[in-house]
Amino acid sequence: MELKCVVAIVRPDVVEVLERKLGALHIHGVTITRVRGFGSHPNYFADDWTTEHVKIEIFAQAENVDALVKAIMDIAHVGAIGDGIVAVLPVEKFFRVRSQAEAKP
C-alpha cells in the first residue's frame, strides 16, 4: 500500500472541528503545530507581515487521501484570504523509532 503525507495550513479556529472530523474518518495520527507566516497576500501595512495559522500533518494510505483532503477543504473553507493550503506529498520510506524498523503502511 502506498503512503502519502497530507500537510494543511489552516486558520486556528477550525482545528477543533477538524479534529472531530478526522476522528470520524478513523485517522489514527495527526501532528498539529502552531506556525506563523505569510502567503501571497501579506499585510505590508502591519509591523509584522505574518499571521498565525496551524500546520497539520497526517500520514495516510493513498486510497484515503481524497476523502481526507475533501474533509479539510470543506471545514477550512470560508472563501476568504487566509483560508489556508493543503498539499499531498509522496512518502518514500516510513520508520518507527521504537522498533528502529521500516514500517509497512
Element (H, E) at 74: helix 65-76
User: pLDDT tens across 69-93, in order?
Assistant: 999 999 999 998 889 999 999 999 9
Domains of the chain: 8-80 (3.30.70.120)
Res 104 pLDDT > 80 = no
83, 10 contact by CB (below 8 A): yes
Q: What is the pLDDT of residue 6?
A: 98
CA-to-CA dists, residue 90 to 12, 73, 79, angstroms: 26, 19, 28
pLDDT score recorded for residue 103: 83
- Residue 50 confidence (pLDDT) above 90: no
Query: Residue 99 has what pLDDT?
Result: 92
Interval 13-44: pLDDT, tens: 999 999 999 999 988 899 999 999 888 777 77
pLDDT band at 105 (very low <50, low <70, confident <90, very high): low
Q: Strands 101-102 and 95-96: what pairing?
A: antiparallel
Residues contacting residue 55 through CB under 8 Å, at least 6 positions apart:
7, 8, 9, 32, 33, 34, 35
Separation of first and last alpha carbons in the chain: 6
pTM of structure:
0.88
The CA angle 31-83-14, to the nearest 5 degrees, is 50
